[in-house]
């Protein structure tokens, strides 16, 4: 069996669902169930004996000791993290605790477990650490895309904390021989994406008749990958990645934010037209920029393609259409997410931004 951490979040829950679609190998899912963790993402697995969700913290050594002794996993896939850049700007503490201290505690627990495994199990064991392209910093419009050799230059508390965890993972391989793999992926989108991030926020705000808050000039570029493609890349790296290596994962889909927002508006205009006949694009508001906003990310995904034969299955056009359809088909999931705590976050992040002339909260 395998352990997945953070498997009730956006990417983790997609990964668990896809894994159990493709395998009968059981999953123990450790998730703290923070605001971003949602057991409802895994509702379709109710009663499925191959999956067990344990509410717990990756920094809890006693939990790790018990769980590793009891279940003896052959692999751990680490998704657990604080993941939102804007939250890291307003409150970095949780990012340091989970992404750095939590990762360290997890590594210590795994080292103790792995070092006592019989030789054949020890050499087959894997820790796959899921990381981000943001550790590489920001590109100019003419820079080449990030390769695995790009220097680390994180710019936000979030990306700095992820960079720290990547370095710890690397060091545990180099120093102790722990068999690790690291993936650095670009921006994901798709089902179960928490509506604090650009794409789901724009969909839910548009449908609610609220402002669509575009930071700065909206010309920042991200490289978008449909979440199921990220999950297939992780499965492939876990299966065949070379121990100690890092693999960049991306969709070859660089787009400015404003184009993303306009595409979502066009899809909604087609699938759920506004009753007044106006386009959702009339709800776009340019607002005060994110402090330290990275201008451009782009992933060079040739290594994973050439070594492991992985390529994304979705184009941006197919993936974004599926995503908008998913949100239209899951209004209950959206309304369950929009608790008081969610409204507090929206207020904290947006209320004071110039340009928020239309009510967002």
Q: In this structure, what DSSP letter does residue 296 have?
A: B
Q: In angstroms, rounded to a whole number, what is the distance separating the alpha carbons of residues 61 and 58?
A: 8
Is 134 a catalytic site residue?
yes
By residue count, the chain amounts to 361
> Rule CB under 6 A: is residue 135 a binding residue for ligand NAD?
no
Lay out the site mask for ligand NAD across 55-84 (x = CB under 6 A, - = otherwise): --xxx-------------------xxxxx-
Q: In the complex with ligand DAU, which residue's Cβ is closer, 109 or 206?
A: 206
CB of 149 to ligand NAD, least distance (A): 19
Answer yes or no: are the C-beta atoms of 203 and 327 closer than 8 Å: yes
Q: In this structure, what DSSP letter does residue 351 have?
A: T
> Rule CB under 6 A: is residue 294 a binding residue for ligand NAD?
no
> Rule CB under 6 A: is residue 5 a binding residue for ligand DAU?
no
Q: In angstroms, rounded to a whole number, what is the distance separating the alpha carbons of residues 322 and 345?
A: 27
- Which residues in 137-176 contact ligand NAD (CB under 6 A)? 162
> Rule CB under 6 A: is residue 37 a binding residue for ligand NAD?
yes
Across 172-218, the runs of DSSP E, i.e. the strands, are 180-185, 187-189, 212-215
Is 133 a catalytic site residue?
yes
Q: In angstroms, rounded to a whole number, what is the distance separating the alpha carbons of residues 102 and 94?
A: 10
Q: In angstroms, rounded to a whole number, what is the distance separating the alpha carbons of residues 108 and 126?
A: 14
CB of 228 to ligand NAD, least distance (A): 13
Q: In the complex with ligand DAU, which residue's Cβ is closer, 4 or 85?
A: 85
Among 105, 126, 150, 197, binds ligand DAU (CB under 6 A): 197
Lay out the site mask for ligand DAU across 41-80 (x = CB under 6 A, - = otherwise): ----------------------------------------
From 134, 229, 254, 294, active-site residue: 134
Contacts of residue 138, Cβ cutoff 8 Å, sequence gap at least 6: 153, 155, 294, 295, 296, 297
Q: What is the DSSP string of 9-55?
A: SHHHHHHHHHHHHH----EEEEE---TT--GGGGGGGTT-TTEEEEE
Q: In the complex with ligand DAU, which residue's Cβ is closer, 85 or 264?
A: 85
> Rule CB under 6 A: is residue 134 a binding residue for ligand DAU?
yes
CB of 87 to ligand NAD, least distance (A): 9
Is 152 a catalytic site residue?
no
Q: CA of 80: how far to CAs of 6, 7, 220, 246, in Å?
A: 4, 7, 27, 18
Chain residues in the site for ligand DAU (CB under 6 A):
83-85, 132-134, 186-187, 197-198, 201, 213-215, 220, 222, 257, 290, 297
Catalytic residue set: 133-134, 158
Chain residues in the site for ligand NAD (CB under 6 A):
5-6, 8-12, 30-34, 36-37, 57-59, 79-83, 98, 102, 130, 132, 162, 185, 187-188, 194
């Amino acid at each position: 069996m395998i352990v997945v951490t953070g498997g009730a979040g956006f990417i983790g829950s997609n990964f668990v669902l896809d894994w159990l679609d493709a395998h009968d190998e059981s999953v123990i899912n450790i998730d703290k169930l923070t605001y971003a963790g949602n057991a409802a993402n895994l509702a379709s697995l109710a009663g499925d004996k191959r999956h067990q969700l344990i509410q717990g913290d990756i920094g809890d050594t006693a939990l790790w000791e018990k769980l590793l002794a009891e279940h003896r996993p052959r692999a751990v896939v680490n998704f657990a993290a604080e993941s939102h850049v804007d939250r890291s700007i307003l409150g970095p503490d949780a990012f340091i605790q989970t992404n750095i201290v939590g990762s360290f505690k997890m590594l210590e627990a795994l080292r103790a477990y792995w070092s006592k495994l019989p030789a054949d199990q020890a050499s087959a064991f894997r820790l796959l650490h899921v990381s981000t392209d943001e550790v590489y910093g920001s590109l100019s419009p003419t820079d080449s895309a990030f390769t695995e050799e790009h220097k680390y230059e994180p710019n936000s508390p979030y990306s700095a904390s992820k960079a720290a965890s990547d370095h710890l993972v690397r060091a545990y391989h180099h120093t102790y021989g722990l068999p690790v793999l690291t993936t650095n992926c670009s921006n994901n989108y798709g089902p179960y994406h928490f509506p604090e991030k650009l794409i789901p926020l724009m969909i839910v705000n548009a449908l609610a008749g609220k402002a669509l808050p575009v930071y700065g000039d909206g010309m920042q570029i991200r490289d978008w990958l449909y979440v199921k493609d990220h999950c297939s890349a992780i499965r492939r790296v876990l299966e065949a990645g070379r121990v100690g290596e890092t693999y960049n994962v991306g969709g070859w889909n660089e787009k400015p934010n404003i184009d993303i927002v306009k595409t979502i508006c066009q899809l909604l205009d087609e699938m759920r037209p506004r009753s007044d006949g106006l386009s959702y694009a009339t709800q776009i508001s340019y607002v005060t920029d994110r402090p330290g906003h990275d201008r451009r990310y782009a992933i060079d995904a040739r290594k994973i393609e050439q070594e492991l034969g992985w390529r994304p299955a979705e184009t941006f056009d197919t993936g974004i259409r599926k995503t908008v359809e998913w949100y239209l088909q899951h209004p209950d999931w959206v309304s369950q997410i929009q608790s008081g705590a969610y409204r507090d976050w929206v207020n904290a992040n947006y209320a004071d931004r110039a340009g928020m002339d239309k009510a967002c909260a």
